[in-house]
Amino acid sequence: MQDKLSDLIKVLLDSESAVTSKDLANELQVSDRTIRNYIQEINGLNDNNIISANGSGYYISDRLAITELLRVSLKVGSHIPQNNEERFTYIVQKLLRNNSLDTFNLANELYISYSTLKRSLNYINKRLDQWNVKIISAHDQLYLSGKESNKRKLFSYLIYRENTGNLLNSNYLEKYFGKETSSKLQSMVDKVIKKYELQVNEFSYNNLLLHLLVLISRLSMGKTINHSVATDNAEIGPYTIELAKAIKKSFSTDLTSPEIREIDILFKTNTNLYSKIQSKNISNKTLMKNINIITKKVKNMYLVDLSSIKFVQPFAIYLYNLLYRLRHNFVHYNPIKTNISNNFPLIYDIATYVAFLIDKLWEVKVPEDEISFIALPIGAEIERQKHNPEKLRTVLIVPSYLMFREQIHDFFRRNFTKDITIVKETDKIDNKDDFESYDLIFFIMLPDIKSNINPKCVFLSPFDLNKQKLKIQTAIDKATLNRKKEMFKSKALSFFSKDLFWNVSEKMAKEELIKKIYHKMKLLGIVNKTFYDEILQRESMGPTAFNNVAIIHPMNYDSFQTKVAVVLSKGGIKWDNKIVNMVFMISISKQYKDDFRNIYENLIDFLSNKNTFAQVLNAQSIDEFYKDLLL
**pLDDT tier for residue 71 given thresholds of 50, 70 and 90:** low
The pLDDT score that the predictor gives to residue 1 is 52
Q: Are the CB atoms for 401 and 417 separated by under 8 Å?
A: no
Q: What is the mean pLDDT of residues 405-422?
A: 87
Q: Are 444 and 371 members of one domain?
A: no
Distance between CA atoms of residues 131 and 70, nearest Å = 34
Q: Where are the alpha helices (DSSP H) in 395-509?
A: 405-416, 469-491
The pLDDT score that the predictor gives to residue 567 is 97
10 Å CB burial of residue 133 (0-12, 13-18, 19+) is buried
- Is 470 domain-assigned? yes
Q: Which one has a higher pLDDT value, 332 or 287?
A: 287
Give me the CATH number covering residue 9: 1.10.10.10
Q: Are 380 and 397 members of one domain?
A: no
Q: Where are the alpha helices (DSSP H) in 222-256?
A: 238-251
The pLDDT score that the predictor gives to residue 413 is 87
Give me the CATH number covering residue 457: 3.40.50
* pTM (predicted TM-score): 0.67
Q: What is the mean pLDDT of residues 330-353?
A: 84
State how many domains the chain has.
6
pLDDT tens digits, 445-480: 755 555 456 778 898 888 888 999 999 999 999 998
The 3-state DSSP composition of the chain as helix, strand, coil percent (nearest 5) reads: 60, 15, 30
Q: Are 614 and 507 members of one domain?
A: yes
Distance between CA atoms of residues 616 and 630, nearest Å = 9
Q: Where are the alpha helices (DSSP H) in 164-308?
A: 170-177, 179-195, 202-219, 238-251, 257-270, 281-302
Give me the CATH number covering residue 603: 3.40.930.10
Give me the CATH number covering residue 259: 1.10.1790.10
Give me the CATH number covering residue 138: 1.10.10
The pLDDT score that the predictor gives to residue 534 is 94
pLDDT tens digits, 234-250: 688 899 999 999 998 88
**pLDDT tier for residue 60 given thresholds of 50, 70 and 90:** confident
- Is 472 domain-assigned? yes
Contacts with 608 (C-beta within 8 Å, 6 or more apart), sequence order: 547
Contacts with 120 (C-beta within 8 Å, 6 or more apart), sequence order: 84, 87, 88, 91, 112
Distance between CA atoms of residues 580 and 573, nearest Å = 5
The pLDDT score that the predictor gives to residue 306 is 92
Q: Are 480 and 503 members of one domain?
A: no
**pLDDT tier for residue 282 given thresholds of 50, 70 and 90:** very low
| Number of alpha carbons in the 13 Å side-chain half-sphere of residue 178 | 8
- Is 18 domain-assigned? yes
Quick check: 207 pLDDT over 50? yes
Q: Are 508 and 554 members of one domain?
A: yes
- Is 577 domain-assigned? yes
What one-letter code names the amino acid at 439?
D
The pLDDT score that the predictor gives to residue 390 is 73
**pLDDT tier for residue 163 given thresholds of 50, 70 and 90:** low
The pLDDT score that the predictor gives to residue 388 is 47
- Return the number of other C-beta atoms located less than 10 Å from residue 407's C-beta: 11
- Is 163 domain-assigned? no
- Is 118 domain-assigned? yes
For 351, the domain range is 276-384
Q: Are 313 and 378 members of one domain?
A: yes
Residue 187: closest CA among 209, 210, 169: 209
Among the listed ranges 192-201, 357-366, 476-485, which one has the minimum average pLDDT value?
Answer: 192-201
- Report the mean per-residue pLDDT for the chain: 85
Q: Are 364 and 419 members of one domain?
A: no
The pLDDT score that the predictor gives to residue 280 is 47
- Is 156 domain-assigned? no
Q: Are 322 and 295 members of one domain?
A: yes
Q: What is the mean pLDDT of residues 154-182?
A: 77
Q: Are 450 and 516 members of one domain?
A: no
Quick check: 76 pLDDT over 70? no
Q: Which of 213, 237, 272 is the last residue of a domain?
A: 272
Q: Which of 455, 489, 523 is the last residue of a domain?
A: 489
Quick check: 275 pLDDT over 70? no
**pLDDT tier for residue 265 given thresholds of 50, 70 and 90:** confident
Q: How many helices (H) and strands (E) does the chain have?
A: 25, 14
Q: Are 528 and 591 members of one domain?
A: yes
Q: Are 572 and 599 members of one domain?
A: yes
Contacts with 351 (C-beta within 8 Å, 6 or more apart), sequence order: 371, 372, 374, 375, 378
10 Å CB burial of residue 36 (0-12, 13-18, 19+) is middle
Q: Which of 438, 454, 489 is the last residue of a domain?
A: 489
Distance between CA atoms of residues 320 and 309, nearest Å = 16
Q: What is the mean pLDDT of residues 16-21?
A: 86
- Return the number of other C-beta atoms located less than 10 Å from residue 338's C-beta: 15
Q: Are 230 and 329 members of one domain?
A: no
The pLDDT score that the predictor gives to residue 343 is 82
- Is 164 domain-assigned? no
Q: Are the CB atoms for 346 and 600 separated by under 8 Å?
A: yes
Quick check: 231 pLDDT over 60? no
pLDDT tens digits, 531-589: 999 999 999 888 899 889 999 999 999 999 999 999 999 999 999 888 999 999 999 99
The pLDDT score that the predictor gives to residue 277 is 47
The pLDDT score that the predictor gives to residue 77 is 54
Quick check: 73 pLDDT over 70? no
pLDDT tens digits, 104-153: 889 878 877 788 889 899 999 999 998 999 999 999 999 999 998 889 88
Q: What is the mean pLDDT of residues 162-169?
A: 63
Q: Are the CB atoms for 552 and 539 separated by under 8 Å?
A: yes
Q: Which one has a higher pLDDT value, 223 or 412?
A: 412
